[in-house]
């Protein structure tokens, strides 16, 4: 059973794996990349509102941008690199996108609606470092291109050598790849054995661009199969088409067993040696010393014979080796001569090629000079033409940055670019004067030091707990003179009666008088804590109003905080004086978050365009 490995990011290869398994293949999901969504700045997203054409290079680009919920011109022409991307665009934005017949960069750029884009505002929604050919070609065609990078592909952190070892143990025969980033993730930092094994696998890729990139890893063209796109159906069709070739396995070649020829063993028969009959009765005595000497001489003779035999064989082997070396030397000499001849021919060809290149470069430089002179003469004769759509587009971009983003420096930069464009053409003096007036007006607008004011409020906020409340100085009771003392004189009976009456009244109601300043009401600890919290709350409210650009709430909060400090805390204390001074300075800030700004160049550009 053919084993196919799917390397697409997580969540994207399940449908293809199911199709392959239903067709009789063995499929394994092994993502080598992960998709990370990015958050572009407002400057990168703002061209979407004013775009004429919006190009999405993948499904991930569509979903990543949709999660940001940007302001997008749904009346612009949408483009998708493939049908699945187009379906995702319709699901997310409710807009039908144009799709090329060939699902790649070349097919997209071949669309008629992208052939003439001079002066068009085009936004390319893509991944990090993706599709440079599209951006380069559209710029060469005169488009105002803005790249909106909303995601990036990252290799999954893992031991790549373990990847290939694991794949090899699974007997993987085919690998599905849908991006150049996946090629890098698989092939980078491999040892020679893993690289050689990978180069023998079959690869199913989504485009010619990936195939060309894969060939840089020394993968044979015969092992690379290009699908009609990155969709599951396109990949399945490509694998199915090549399935017969992958399923073929080399069959062992069987041969008929043949009976080995039996070697005939010749039987050598020796004739018996006739020996002369000796008379049995003859007895000869043999000396033992002679027998021993004979044995020793036989042993020595056999040793000498064996040594001679070995030397003879060694000499023969040496002669054979020498003959082989001579033959090899002759072959090497012939190859060396052939290499010298080839080197000579190569040097001559290189010399001829250099001359041809030098001649071609000289002719090309001369032709370029002539064409440049002709173009300059034609431009001088006909006069340079200025595209009104480009001027209007820059002016609209300046208005957008001014009113929507409140980006005065960005507006100034766009107006500078528009002025530089108009400076090369006659009849634009009035428009340029209006642009310079707008630039001077923008330079006069001083930005509000929001961060500095916020930090001052934070400093005051931390100083609230250090403030000292008003102390109550209760004056000591004055020595009272008893005016209702009874007299012992009988003649004073009327006065004594009045004094007695006053004493009776005093026993019910006592009114005491104190001299000096008015007495402040006494505050409990809880009340003092609540006053501190009210002041802090007002200061925090002023900070929030500052960040949300609500000037009226900011000043009301400062006024209330200042009133509480004045009413409840010692005015002669240094900490109180410092806080009141800081609050007074903060009240003097000019918080004009929405100045009335109008661009005089807007009307002038409209009049000029008409």
Mean pLDDT within 71-98: 92
Residue 517 pLDDT class (50, 70, 90 cuts): very low
pTM for the model: 0.39
What are the C-alpha distances in Å from 320 to residues 309, 311, 327, 328, 566?
A: 17, 14, 11, 12, 120
222 neighbors 201 (Cβ within 8 angstroms): no
Report the pLDDT value the prediction gives residue 311, as an integer from 0 to 100.
65
Report the pLDDT value the prediction gives residue 86, as an integer from 0 to 100.
93
Mean pLDDT within 321-328: 72
Backbone angles phi and psi of 589, in degrees to 5: -65, 140
386 neighbors 425 (Cβ within 8 angstroms): yes
Burial class (CB in 10 A: 0-12, 13-18, 19+), 426: exposed
Per-residue pLDDT reduced to its tens digit, 531-572: 989 998 999 999 898 888 888 898 999 999 999 999 889 888
Report the pLDDT value the prediction gives residue 61, as an integer from 0 to 100.
93
Q: Evaluate the CA torsion angle 314, 315, 316, 319 in order and state its sign.
A: positive
Q: Is the model's pLDDT at 347 over the cut of 80?
A: no
Question: Two tokens at 580?
Answer: 């009141």
Q: Is the model's pLDDT at 292 over the cut of 80?
A: no
Report the pLDDT value the prediction gives residue 255, as an integer from 0 to 100.
35
Q: What is the DSSP letter of 127?
A: E
Per-residue pLDDT reduced to its tens digit, 454-475: 898 899 889 888 888 876 544 5
Architecture of domain 36-152: 3-Layer(aba) Sandwich (3.40)
Residues in the chain: 610
Backbone angles phi and psi of 149, in degrees to 5: -90, 115
More confident residue, 251 or 333: 333
Q: Is the model's pLDDT at 275 over the cut of 70?
A: no
Percent of the chain at pLDDT > 90 equals: 18
Dihedral angle computed from the Cα positions of residues 386, 388, 389 and 391, in that order, rounded to the nearest 10 degrees: 80
Mean pLDDT within 578-605: 83
Residue 55 pLDDT class (50, 70, 90 cuts): very high
More confident residue, 313 or 563: 563
94 neighbors 66 (Cβ within 8 angstroms): no
4 neighbors 177 (Cβ within 8 angstroms): no
CA-to-CA distance for 571 and 559, rounded, in angstroms?
A: 17
The domain made up of 3-32+157-247 has a fold known as: Rossmann fold (3.40.50)
Question: Two tokens at 392?
Answer: 């209007």
Mean pLDDT within 21-30: 89
CA-to-CA distance for 311 and 307, rounded, in angstroms?
A: 6
Angle at the Cα of 370 (from 364 to 375), degrees rounded to 5? 120
Provide the H-helix boundaries in 242-287. 243-247
Q: Is the model's pLDDT at 158 over the cut of 70?
A: no
Question: Among 58-62, 242-246, 321-325, where is mean pLDDT lowest?
Answer: 242-246
More confident residue, 465 or 248: 465
Question: Among 86-95, 430-439, 590-599, where is mean pLDDT lowest?
Answer: 590-599
Report the pLDDT value the prediction gives residue 312, as an integer from 0 to 100.
64
Per-residue pLDDT reduced to its tens digit, 218-229: 898 889 999 888
Question: Two tokens at 308?
Answer: 């001679």
Provide the H-helix boundaries in 445-596. 450-463, 493-508, 525-547, 551-568, 574-587
Architecture of domain 447-476+523-594: Up-down Bundle (1.20)
Question: Among 301-305, 391-395, 410-414, 508-512, where is mean pLDDT lowest?
Answer: 508-512
Report the pLDDT value the prediction gives residue 62, as an integer from 0 to 100.
94
């Amino acid at each position: 059973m053919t084993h196919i490995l799917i390397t697409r990011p997580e969540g994207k290869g399940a449908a293809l794996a199911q199709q392959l398994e239903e067709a009789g293949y063995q499929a394994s999901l092994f993502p080598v990349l992960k998709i990370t969504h990015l958050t572009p700045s407002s400057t990168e997203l703002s061209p979407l509102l004013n775009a004429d054409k919006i190009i999405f290079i993948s499904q991930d680009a569509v979903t990543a941008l949709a999660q940001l919920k940007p302001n997008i011109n749904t009346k612009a022409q949408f483009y998708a690199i493939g049908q699945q991307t187009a379906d995702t665009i319709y699901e997310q934005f409710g807009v039908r996108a144009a799709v090329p017949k060939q699902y790649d960069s070349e097919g997209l750029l071949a669309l008629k609606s992208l052939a003439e884009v001079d002066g068009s505002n085009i936004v390319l929604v893509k991944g990090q470092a993706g599709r440079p050919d599209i951006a380069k070609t559209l710029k060469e065609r005169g488009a105002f291109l803005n790249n909106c990078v909303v995601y990036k592909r990252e290799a999954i952190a893992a031991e790549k050598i373990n990847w290939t070892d694991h794949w090899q143990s699974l007997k993987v025969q085919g690998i599905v790849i849908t991006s150049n980033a996946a090629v890098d993730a698989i092939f980078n930092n491999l040892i020679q054995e893993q690289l050689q094994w990978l180069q023998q696998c079959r690869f199913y890729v989504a485009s010619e661009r990936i195939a060309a990139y894969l060939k840089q890893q020394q993968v044979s063209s015969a092992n690379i199969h290009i699908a009609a796109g990155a969709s599951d159906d396109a990949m399945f069709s490509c694998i199915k088409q090549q399935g017969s070739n992958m399923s073929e396995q080399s069959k062992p070649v069987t041969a008929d067993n043949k009976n080995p020829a039996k070697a005939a063993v010749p039987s050598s028969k020796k004739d018996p040696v006739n020996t002369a009959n000796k008379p049995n009765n003859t007895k000869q005595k043999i000396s033992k010393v002679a027998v021993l000497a004979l044995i020793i001489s036989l042993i020595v003779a056999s040793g000498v014979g064996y040594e001679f035999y070995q030397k003879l064989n060694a000499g023969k082997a040496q002669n054979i080796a020498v003959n082989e070396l001579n033959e090899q030397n002759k072959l090497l000499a012939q190859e060396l001569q052939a290499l010298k001849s080839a080197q000579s021919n190569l040097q001559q060809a290189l010399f001829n090629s250099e001359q041809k290149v030098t001649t071609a470069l000289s002719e090309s430089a001369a032709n370029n000079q002539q064409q440049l002179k002709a173009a300059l003469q034609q431009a001088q004769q006909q006069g340079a033409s200025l595209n009104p759509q480009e001027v209007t587009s820059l002016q609209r971009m300046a208005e957008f940055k001014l009113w929507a983003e409140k980006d005065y420096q960005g507006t100034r930069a766009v107006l500078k670019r528009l002025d530089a464009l108009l400076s090369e053409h006659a009849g634009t003096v009035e428009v340029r004067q209006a642009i310079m007036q707008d630039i001077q007006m923008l330079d006069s607008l001083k930005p509000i030091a929001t961060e500095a004011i916020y930090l001052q409020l934070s400093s005051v906020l931390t100083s609230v707990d250090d403030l000292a409340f008003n102390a109550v100085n209760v004056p000591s009771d004055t020595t009272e003179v008893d005016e209702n003392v009874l007299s012992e004189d009988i003649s004073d009976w009327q006065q004594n009666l009045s004094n007695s009456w006053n004493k009776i009244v005093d026993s019910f109601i006592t009114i005491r008088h104190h001299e000096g300043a008015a007495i402040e009401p006494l505050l409990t600890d809880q009340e003092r804590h609540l006053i501190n919290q009210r002041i802090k709350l007002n200061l925090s409210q002023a900070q929030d109003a500052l960040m949300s650009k609500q000037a009226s709430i900011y000043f009301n909060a400062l006024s209330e905080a200042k009133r509480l400090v004045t009413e409840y805390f010692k005015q002669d204390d240094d900490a109180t004086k410092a806080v009141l001074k800081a609050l007074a300075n903060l009240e003097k800030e000019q918080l004009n978050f929405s100045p009335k700004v109008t661009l005089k160049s807007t009307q002038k550009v409209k009049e000029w365009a008409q």
